[in-house]
Amino acid sequence: MDVTRADFIPIVPELFLLGATCAILLIDLFLSEQRRGLIHFLSLATLAATAVLILRAWGDQGVAAEAAWSGMFLRDNVGDVLKLAICLVSAVVFIYAKPYLRARDLFKGEFYTLCLFSVLGMMLLVSAGSLITVYLGLELMALSTYALVAMDRENRRATEAAMKYFVLGALASGMLLYGMSMLYGATGSLDLATISQMAAEGGAGDRRLLVLGVVFMLVGIAFKFGAAPFHMWLPDVYHGAPTAMTLFIGSAPKLAAFGMAYRLLEGSAGNLGEFWQIMVAWLAVLSLVIGNVLALMQTNLKRMLAYSTISHVGFLFLGLAHGGPEGYAAAMFYAISYALMSAAAFGAIILLSRRGFEAEEISDFRGLNHKNPWHAGLVLMIMASMAGVPPFLGFWAKLAVLRAAVEANMVWLAIVAVVFAVIGAFYYLRVIKVMYFDEPEDTTQADDRPADAHLRWVLSATRCFCWCWASRGAP
């Protein structure tokens, strides 16, 4: 493979992020605990500069796709939009997580460097043009999140969650690799575009082997999303990990998972849609049923949000099942919307938590409107948006994927989704009911600590941003 200067131009944002993360890792070695805030500032500046580089190259590039490193790395509008969303969500996560980490003696450079390395893996994943790049990006993202969950070594619950996450993640990666090996065996190529072309022209050696490879890849995709029946890791990891870590793994990686699904399904298996579209549809049904039904039984808010994640993945799969540009656009809109809503939901838990108290139980929100109406209003908007109540962002996201399902002649799937959307609204409304109609157990006023002022303002700004985006409607 001949490497030229032109190969480095599309990957400049990733190279900058890698260099800046390594520099932050070295700087952290020489900082005292009192100056740890510098790492927080440098991490936010790194994400902002990376986003500027993406925007600058995006403006030069226009709408044309660009390939580098012999097609292993792709630069197109889909990848750029997802990268910008990943940088935005990750920056919001850093701001939300800071007071939580400080209060629990977890405000360390490892949190920021692991998150930044994970972001780097996500950016590689959404720009993958080869099966090799897909796996490299996926493992860089996954290994960083495994370590992130286990960062609080004194927390036995977090350690157990990290072990479960690692073991099941390794199993899913093995299935994904097995599927990739079948694609390579059937086509003799690792390039996604070549695989797609050979599948369309009938040049694959064994079409059954090709289809079986796509099936195994779908298993890997479903695991990374947390779709049923490959969701067994999700509730325990969300519940066991410290909330700041759950905040990260519950938001930005979902964007990378969509990017992986788009590259693999559209890039290599787009011409096998008649095989995988119905499989994705049934994965959506299972996720909607299992996620919503089990979420109804939860009293722990983090576990409830974990099971609701499964149901949201079911909605996202409605767009993927379309298999066309409109379906992918709807699914990407849903993925970005959900990442913002999920970050805001876990940010609300952090906002109400304090040292020695984790606001993880739904009962912890009892009578919140009496103590702090502003906080209660923010949580109300978050829950209403996730439930799909108009005119909040979640409504437009659900409308987009339902429209995609109908356009794909899967009216039955859209009906199932609407039924379970109504069922799922119950557990979100239960949180609202507890805040507004139950008497508070603690009658003291909420503590408005100046140290958390930035968290409250950013949480409010996030809701305003989602409201403005929702006012424009779905794509």
Q: What is the pLDDT of residue 451?
A: 44
- Rounded to whole angstroms, how far apart are CA atoms 292 and 308? 6
Q: For residue 44, give every residue at least 6 positions away whose Cβ sits within 8 Å of its Cβ, in sequence order, or none.
A: 91, 94, 95
**pLDDT score at 419:** 95
- Cα torsion angle, 435, 438, 442, 443, sign: positive
pTM of the predicted structure, to 2 decimals: 0.91
User: Which parts of the chain have pLDDT scores under 70?
Assistant: 1-2, 58-65, 202-205, 268-271, 273, 355-356, 442-475
pLDDT value, residue 124: 94
Q: State residue 356's pLDDT score.
A: 66
Sign of CA dihedral 46, 48, 50, 52: negative
